[in-house]
Amino acid sequence: MSVEEHNPISGETKKWLDLLYEGIYVVNREKIIVYWNKGAEHITGYNPEEMTGKQCGEDTMNHQDYFGHNLCREGCPLEKALKGQTTESKLFPKHKKGHRIPIAAFMTPLKNEEGAIIGAIEIFREVSAEEEIRHLKEKYKKAIRQYVSETTYKQVIRSLNQESYTFVGHNRDLTILFMDIVGFTGLSEKLEPEKVVEMLNAYFSLTSLIIQQNQGDIDKFLGDGVMAVFENAEHAIQAAIDMINPGLKKLNHNLRAIELPEINIRIGINSGNLIQGNIGSEERKDWTVVGDVVNTAYRIEESAEPDTIRISEDTLKRLKNPEQCVFVKKMTLKGKSNPIKVYTIASYKTTGGSHKTL
């Protein structure tokens, strides 16, 4: 029996289908291609003479999914259609010239007047433009995440997805962590510029990982310093502990391996009510935090000894095990009438930290 005798598409229907821009092809119950329209030829490069009469799945287009799996070998959407299912998929068939093309495809069964399945039809269109836009969006997201904090990134994406979204400021109770490299200026003067960059990248990579694992958000990098924001003071304490030990030990081991000098760090933490919002000019804004809480955290960090953690009394009050912290001294800060109490952290046991292997 010829292909035409197995063809469930009438001659009049073929004429109409050939006028469409979408690619359309039909298979019979044996998955033999019995119809291939002009739209399919335009998209794939294969003409009806090359495709009609071939078994769907022969070495022509070889449909693949997003992950590169060959669907002609397993998971064929047309087989599902021949079993009565209607599906929609993004596929990547092979063009006649050899390259893959992205298509959006719709597959559904064809039935006769009695309701019996006599074949299946695939309707598809090329989505190269949409795919290119998707790649650009992914590249944009990846790039922007390297240069702004996680909170800022989320605010930007939210504004792009909501036409009426506006940035607002909030009064929030947060914990601020400052950290920097002790004696960085002297170190940088002794090293070649590319070595300084290599050292900072190693330092910031580890810092970012530890802060993220402890549910913090890096607000900004400040030369050799880091400013991070935490909603939970316990998480900030655990991040600081993780950075001192085992983080610093591992970092210095890695620096020695690439013939760079070891470093020492110091950390200061403060908590309290501050303003978090979108601050800046019309041309450039930054989702950040401002207030006396931030300034005090920075001053506490400046006063810390190498490889130590210093916290304020306000942070101490937010901890579940404050008795494990040791009083160090009182600090008089510019603009404050009363000195603040500063405590040290040695081996504080938190209830909300990461405790992950670095």
What are the pLDDT digits (tens) for 215-264?
Answer: 898 888 888 999 999 999 999 999 999 999 889 999 999 999 999 999 99
**DSSP states of 122-186:** EEEEE-HHHHHHHHHHHHHHHHHHHHS-HHHHHHHHHHHH-TT-----EEEEEEEEEEEETTHHH
In-domain check, residue 56: yes
In angstroms, the CA 328 to CA 16 distance is 86
Q: What is the pLDDT of residue 161?
A: 58
pLDDT in tens, 120-140: 999 999 988 777 777 766 766
Q: Span 177-196, mean pLDDT?
A: 93
d(CA 166, CA 46): 50
Between 77 and 340, the more confident residue is: 340
Q: Is residue 104 domain-shared with residue 221, that is, in the same domain?
A: no
Same domain for 122 and 166, yes or no, is: no
> Using CA atoms, how far apart are residues 200 and 224, in angstroms rounded to an integer?
7
- Tell me, yes or no, whether 138 lies in a domain: no
Q: Are residues 101 and 224 in the same domain?
A: no
Q: Tell me which of 353 and 182 has the higher pLDDT.
A: 182
pLDDT tens, position by position, 45-88: 999 999 988 888 776 777 888 778 888 778 888 889 999 999 99
In this structure, the answer to whether residues 172 and 102 fall within a common structural domain is no
Residue 119 lies in a domain: yes
Query: Which residue has 């130590």 as its token pair?
Result: 308
Q: Scan for tokens 């009363």, then name that residue.
A: 338
Give how far Cα 292 sits from Cα of 176, 223, 233, 341, Å: 11, 21, 17, 15
CA angle 234, 236, 241 (to 5 degrees): 95
Q: What does the buried/exposed string (b/e) look like for 171-181 if buried means 16 or more CB atoms within 10 Å of the residue's CB?
A: ebebbbbbbbb
> What tokens appear for 47 in the block?
């003409």
The answer on 71 and 171 residing in a single domain is no
Q: Look up the CATH number of the domain holding residue 221.
A: 3.30.70.1230
Task: Specify the pairing of strand 87-91 against strand 217-222.
Answer: unpaired
In this structure, what DSSP letter does residue 57 have? T
The answer to whether residue 352 scores a pLDDT higher than 50 is no
Q: Is residue 227 part of a domain?
A: yes
Provide the pLDDT for residue 167. 53
What pLDDT, on the 0 to 100 scale, is given for residue 210?
A: 93
| CATH number of the domain where residue 118 is located | 3.30.450.20
pLDDT digits (tens, 9 = 90+) for 287-320: 678 889 999 999 999 999 999 999 999 999 999 8
- Residue 349 pLDDT class (50, 70, 90 cuts): low
Higher pLDDT, 262 or 285: 262
Q: How many C-beta neighbours within 10 Å does residue 240 have?
A: 28
The mean per-residue pLDDT over the stretch 94-111 comes to 90
Same domain as 172, residue 115: no
Asked whether residue 30 falls in the same domain as residue 104, the answer is yes
For residue 262, being part of any structural domain is answered with yes
199 and 247 share a domain?
yes
Cα separation, 147 vs 153, in Å, equals: 9
- Would 153 be classed as within a structural domain? no
Helices 193-213 and 248-257, interaxial angle, to 10°? 150
Q: Is 142 a domain residue? A: no
The overall pTM is greater than 0.85: no
**Domain closes at, from 85, 111, 129:** 129
| Residues spanned by the domain of 125 | 3-129
Is residue 10 domain-resident?
yes
pLDDT digits (tens, 9 = 90+) for 7-50: 556 566 666 777 678 899 999 998 899 999 999 999 999 999 99
**Average model confidence (pLDDT) for the chain?**
83
| For residue 165, pLDDT beyond 70 | no
Give me the number of domains the chain comprises. 2
Cβ–Cβ < 8 Å for 26, 9: yes
Residues 88 and 205 in one domain: no
Better-predicted residue by pLDDT, 69 or 354: 69
Non-local CB neighbours of 237 within 8 Å, separated by 6+ positions: 269, 309, 311, 315, 319, 345, 348, 350, 353
Q: Which residue among 129, 149, 181 closes a domain?
A: 129
User: Does 316 share its domain with 239?
Assistant: yes
Alpha-carbon dihedral 279, 220, 301, 273, rounded to 10 degrees: 40
Same domain, 28 and 104: yes
pLDDT number for residue 21: 80
**247 in the same domain as 179:** yes
Interval 188-229: pLDDT, tens: 899 999 999 999 999 999 999 999 899 898 888 888 999 999
